[in-house]
Amino acid sequence: MKIIVTIKQVPNVTKVKWDADGSLIRAGLPTIINPVDKHAIEAALELKEKHGGEVIVISMGPGQVESALREALCMGADQAIQLTDRKFAGADTWATSYALGCAIKKIGDYDLVISGVEAMDGNTAQVGPQMAEFLGLPLLSYALGIESDGKKVQIQQKLGDFERKIEADFPALVTVEKEINEYRVTPMDKILEAFEKEIPVWEADDVDAELVHLGLKGSPTKLRKVFSPKIEKGKVQMLEGTPEEIARQVADKLNEKFLI
């Protein structure tokens, strides 16, 4: 079974800063593997342990994504591929999915692609479904559980108010929820092994991507502005007095507003 896992390196969201034209200042931000993507790696590793095969992780981003890929190798992935090229920069989900899709095509001959449902920075949850479309794969989204017999994949799907069991033949694309598994703590021997592995860096030309569809230029959506969420300050009336007095004012107010 050949499984490709897409992982995104994300900044620690609580420490985000922006420059004047609204671009994210990435320099100096601590980065991590998008948390749910670790569950995607774990799901792939568990399938491989049952059925044999290999797990390949890919990540698109600036040079520093190597550390995310290294961490995935430590967890037990067999191979990692880094997609780094200035031409990929500034991509919306369409252009991101296109570039990742081109790389997946280049790897070729896979049975499964696994991604996280949603990245904790962009928060769109669009890249999984869009890669599936580009690659012409059936999409099995929101997986809470995953099983395979080596020919097809079946998932437990959390679809809003419904829980479904759905399946498709290989090749297919699955997006996973964090409830799907507990991911492993990296075994020591893997860490040493992982640091010896080479991580090839692919550029746009290496994956036969068409320039018009890449990066900022290839993105149909454009960021007009970013701003801090507005807070309506100063309209609050603070209640004073003993707890009993406060409680009476609350009850009076609720009564006045027909809320009791």
Ligand X SMILES: Cc1cc2nc3c(=O)[nH]c(=O)nc-3n(C[C@H](O)[C@H](O)[C@H](O)COP(=O)(O)OP(=O)(O)OC[C@H]3O[C@@H](n4cnc5c(N)ncnc54)[C@H](O)[C@@H]3O)c2cc1C
Binding to ligand X, residues 215-244 (CB under 6 A): 221, 226
Other beta carbons within 10 angstroms of residue 28's beta carbon come to 8
* 210 residue type, one letter: E
Rounded to whole angstroms, the Cα distance separating 80 from 59 reads 8
- Mark 2-41 with x for binding to ligand X (rule: CB under 6 A) and - for no binding: ----xxx----x----------x---------x-xx--x-
Angle between helix 127-135 and 93-107 (nearest 10): 50
By beta-carbon distance, which residue lies closest to ligand X?
Answer: 122
Q: Does 211 bind other proteins (CB under 8 A)?
A: no
Q: Does 123 bind ligand X (CB under 6 A)?
A: yes
Closest CB to other proteins among residues 193, 239: 239
Closest CB to ligand X among residues 125, 191: 125
Q: C-beta of 210: minimal distance to other proteins in Å?
A: 8
| DSSP classification of residue 18 | B
Burial of 64 (0-12, 13-18, 19+ CB in 10 A): middle
Residue in 74, 62, 78, 87 with CA at minimum distance from that of residue 210: 87
| DSSP classification of residue 62 | S
Return the residues of window 114-143 that contact other proteins according to CB under 8 A.
120-130, 132-134, 138-142
* Positions that interact with ligand X (CB under 6 A): 6-8, 13, 24, 34, 36-37, 40, 59-61, 91-94, 96, 100, 115-116, 118-128, 221, 226
